[in-house]
Amino acid sequence: MRPDSGLSIGSSRLVVALLIISFSTGCVEHTTYSYETHVFLLDEKNELAVSTFPSWFPETRSHIPFLYKRTHSPRGVYFEVFVREAGTTAGPNPNIESILIRSFSYESPGQPPVQLIEDFAGGFWQQGRAEHDSVGLEPVMSFEGGSVLVRFELLLNGRIFEGEQLLHAQESSHFRPLILDALR
């Protein structure tokens, strides 16, 4: 190791040792269900992101102490609607002077539409939160091969925007060292 590299031989050995320990202690497999995220471009400064997240904490399906753990999130998911600054993923939107989400709904094949939002005066909404979801609608089920059609109408800075998109169900699994899961 070169003396000017910023890491001493002792500290680099410690990093290697920690990596070996963390990757040799076992792993956890997390399976999560969702619908694909879609971003609607509203204008040159704003976009509407529609996404889903698990409706509850994951449940452990199998566990071998110190070796392996498998968890699954519930198949029920909640929607999130976010009018954000174009090109960003978080934070306040400085481009909103006035906003009213007139409606946001989803429709499963062969089922009537379910209205989730009606006349909501804000740029961020999450299903399942008491201050956003006064009717307490059930989570949306996500099954392999499934899809939902989402529709929205909103008034942003005096302009009306409408759109619809078919979102497909997704299942994803991630592996990581068990020690990192324990530290969460």
- The tens digit of pLDDT for each residue in 52-79 reads 999 999 998 888 887 888 899 999 999 9
User: Among the listed ranges 34-48, 107-121, 154-168, 169-183, which one has the minimum average pLDDT value?
Assistant: 169-183
Residue 79 located in a structural domain: yes
* pLDDT of res. 135: 65
Residue 83 located in a structural domain: yes
| Number of domain units in the chain | 1
Please, what sign has the CA dihedral across residues 65, 66, 68, 72?
A: positive
Residue 130 located in a structural domain: yes
* pLDDT of res. 22: 53
Residue 154 located in a structural domain: yes
What is this structure's pTM? 0.79
Grade residue 88 by pLDDT with cuts at 50, 70 and 90. very high
* pLDDT of res. 35: 98
* pLDDT of res. 147: 97
Cα distance between residue 32 and residue 141, in whole Å? 12
Residue 145 located in a structural domain: yes
State the CATH number of the domain containing residue 127. 2.60.40
Residue 119 located in a structural domain: yes
Residue 84 located in a structural domain: yes
R_g of the chain, CA atoms, integer Å: 22
Residue 2 located in a structural domain: no
Query: Could you list the residue range(s) of the whole structural domain that residue 151 is in?
Result: 29-61+74-174
